[in-house]
Every structure is written in structure tokens, then in C-alpha cells.
Structure 1
């Protein structure tokens, strides 16, 4: 069940499934429970579960087979190590910081006298 910790539910679900894969509870080749089943188990919406599974796909831990389901990859532990939730949180924080800095620079430049203002791109 998703806990009300302030941490997004999709990250909690991804963490739990990732841990099951690492422990071997979900072994290579095993199917993940259906999206509907995971939504029921975690008391979460289908979109939250799909986001969690998407994270695991991006990490290379699971692979979807059209019309069949999502399976733990045979090489889930081989190759490049999967990013942890903490790594992803750091990346998101860095992107947010850079976005805010860029907005401040653009605001400063647009307020300088004699500088032509650019219209926003559409």
C-alpha cells in the first residue's frame, strides 16, 4: 500500500518492485502482476502504477511484450547498474535548479534597457 509520506506513490511502488527484483522475489523472466492487480495491491490509480512500471522500464529492469504483459528482464542485474530513486531525485532537483536559474537570467536580460524583447515562441 502506498504510504502518505509525501513521497510520490509511483516512486514508492517502483521502489518496492525494484526491491522484489533485487531480492529475487520477482526473478528474471517472471511477469509483473497486471496493472490492475498492482493498482489494487497498492491502493493506487492505474496511471500511478503505469508511471512506476515506466520507471522500471527506463532503468532496464523490466520489458513489456505487446499483448502479453511486463516481464523482469533476463539481464536485469547485468550491464549498467540501474539508477536508484535517490539518483533520480538528484537529477530532478538539478533540472529544477537549472530551470529556475535560466528563468532568472532570461528575466534579467528582458529587463535591460535598449535590449529588444523577443516574443515567446509558439
Structure 2
């Protein structure tokens, strides 16, 4: 179940599946439940589940097989190092921060009065004559 914690649902789902994979309850070669089954299990939309599985793919924890499904990757087949996982985590963090920043900017936009002093950094000041 995705919780209303402020952390995006796709990251919560990816975290849970990652924990299951690393803990051994989803062993190498085991198929993940279908996208629809995961959506029901986590009470999330299909797109949120697909994003979560995409993160696990980028981390090299799962691999998709056309027409068959998504399977837990054997650790022997996984790429050396954790660079892919680090990049995926960084991308997810940047996306999360972008969403949060947009919300903050939206909330703060009402604070700027309509007749405010022009913002010099935004190019609102009139040009000086020479």
C-alpha cells in the first residue's frame, strides 16, 4: 500500500520491491507480479507501478523479457558496481525535488503583491537611457 508520506508512490513501491529482492523473498529468476497485480497490491495506478519497475530496471535488479514479463535478475548477471543504481536514485531524487520546488513556488506565488517593486533579477526594471 502506498502511504501518503509526501514521498512519491513510485519510489515507495520501488523501495518495497527492492527490499524484497535484496531480502530474498523475490529470488533470482522469479517473475514479478504483473503490472495490474502490482497496481492492485499497492493501490496505485498502472503508470506509477511502471515507473517503479523502471527504476528497478535501471538499477539492474530486474530484467524484462518481451511477451513473458519482468524477472528478478540473477546477481551474477548484474552489472559490476552500483553505478546504474546510483544514477537511478539521483534521477529520482532530482525529479522529486523538482516536484517539491514547483509546489513551493506555487504556494509562494500568492505572496507577491500585484503592485510589487519590480524584481531586478527577473528583468522587470525599465532600461536606463543613455
Instruction: Compute the TM-score of the two structures, normalised by the length of structure 2.
Output: 0.65
Q: Which residue of 2 aligns with 1:79?
A: 80
Seen in structure 2, the aligned counterparts of structure 1 residues 71 and 86 have a Cα distance that, compared at 3 Å, is closer
RMSD between superposed Cα atoms in Å: 3.3
For 1:40 and 1:6, locate their aligned partners in 2 and report how far apart those are by CA, in whole Å: 21
Where structure 2 has 5 or more consecutive residues not aligned to the other structure, the ranges are 99-121
Aligned residues: 106
Partner of 1:9: 9
- 1:18 matches 2:23: no
Matched, 1:50 2:44: no
- Matches for 1:79-118 after TM superposition, within 5 Å: 79-81=80-82, 82-83=85-86, 87-88=90-91, 90=93, 92=94
Distance 1:63 1:9, change over 3 A: same
What SS does the corresponding residue of 2:86 show, helix, strand or coil? coil
Map of 1:39 onto structure 2: 39
For residues 58-69 of structure 1, the aligned pairs below 5 Å read 58-69=58-69
Determine the C-alpha separation between the residues in 2 that align with 1:64 and 1:84.
Answer: 19
CA deviation after TM superposition for structure 1 residue 80, in Å: 1.4
TM-score (norm 1): 0.69
Work out which of the two has the higher radius of gyration on C-alpha atoms and give 1 or 2: 2
What are the superposed Cα offsets for residues 70-91 of structure 1, whole Å, 9 maximum, x if unpaired? 000112766212339865555x
Describe the superposition over 1:25-56 as per-residue Cα deviations: whole angstroms up to 9, x where unpaired. Answer: 00111000100000000000000000000000
